[in-house]
Chains A and B, each alone.
Chain A
Amino acid sequence: ETGVTQSPTHLIKTRGQQVTLRCSSQSGHNTVSWYQQALGQGPQFIFQYYREEENGRGNFPPRFSGLQFPNYSSELNVNALELDDSALYLCASSLRGVSEAFFGQGTRLTVV
């Protein structure tokens, strides 16, 4: 059984650029959630995907968008990057209706 894997582990982007982060769910999980963790803060919920559709969203602007694929893997896209988007982005997978979510190692995004 493989865990949640995220790629890349680190990347640096310039303000105004666009970025795509990827997440492979744990085997058997059909729900993916994305979180942003700024330095020194707890993770903040961005959105969740279930059956390839967004299923809830936190207080993030529309330039944060996502996709879920038939194999339950997922992407997080951020357009028009801002300096404040610098953070650790965490993906969590779970089985809908089950409370426990499993987190990946995260992608550290730095916007300069």
Chain B
Amino acid sequence: AQSVTQLGSHVSVSEGALVLLRCNYSSSVPPYLFWYVQYPNQGLQLLLKYTTGATLVKGINGFEAEFKKSETSFHLTKPSAHMSDAAEYFCAVNDSGGYQKVTFGTGTKLQVIP
């Protein structure tokens, strides 16, 4: 069975500081991994995904994540936080292949302090 753990339900960073949101997963097979962002009263927007190949994945808005199989982690980073990055971020895993049951973490709310 697949599962996702996001460490820290709330993270605060100063504008311009490094953003690091942590995600660990559990999967019985090589997983597909995702990061989604959700702004208030909005749906989910895909930031980036890992399927196969290069373990460092670049996404939209300057975000990137690294798949580390040995640590079962997929942490999200951004070198310099912007006010517009304030939102809730969800890590998700899919180990079902074409059957797309995606399991989400409980989310991390990012606050950016001016």
| Contact residue among B51, B90, B103 (Cβ-Cβ distance under 8 Å from A45) | B103
User: Is A97 within 8 A of B104, CB to CB?
Assistant: no
In the assembly, what is the distance between CA of A90 and CA of B100, in Å? 14
| Contact residue among A35, A48, A99 (Cβ-Cβ distance under 8 Å from B49) | A99
Quick check: is A55 within 8 A (CB to CB) of the other chain?
yes
Contact with A along B51-87 (1 / 0, CB 8 A): 1000000000000000000000000000000000000
User: Is A99 within 8 A of B105, CB to CB?
Assistant: no
User: Is B51 within 8 A of A41, CB to CB?
Assistant: no
| Contact residue among A40, A42, A48, A105 (Cβ-Cβ distance under 8 Å from B43) | A105
User: Is B103 within 8 A of A99, CB to CB?
Assistant: no
Contact with B along A83-112 (1 / 0, CB 8 A): 000000010101011011111111010000
| Contact residue among A35, A99, A103, A104 (Cβ-Cβ distance under 8 Å from B94) | A99
- Residues on A with C-beta less than 8 A from B97 are 97
- Residues on B with C-beta less than 8 A from A94 are 100
In the assembly, what is the distance between CA of A108 and CA of B104, in Å? 19
Closest to B44 in A: A103
Closest chain A CB from B38 CB (angstroms) = 9
Quick check: is A56 within 8 A (CB to CB) of the other chain?
yes
Quick check: is A58 within 8 A (CB to CB) of the other chain?
yes
- Residues on B with C-beta less than 8 A from A25 are none
| Contact residue among B4, B49, B106 (Cβ-Cβ distance under 8 Å from A41) | B106
Contact with B along A54-95 (1 / 0, CB 8 A): 011010000000000000000000000000000000101010
Given contact pairs A35-B104, A45-B102, A92-B102, enumerate 11 new A-B contacts (beta carbons under 8 Å): A42-B104, A42-B107, A45-B103, A48-B99, A56-B96, A56-B99, A92-B44, A97-B97, A102-B46, A103-B43, A103-B44
Interface residues, chain B, with chain A CB atoms under 8 Å away: 4, 32, 34, 36, 41-46, 49, 51, 90, 92, 94, 96-107
Interface residues, chain A, with chain B CB atoms under 8 Å away: 4, 6, 31, 33, 35, 40-45, 48, 55-56, 58, 90, 92, 94, 96-97, 99-106, 108
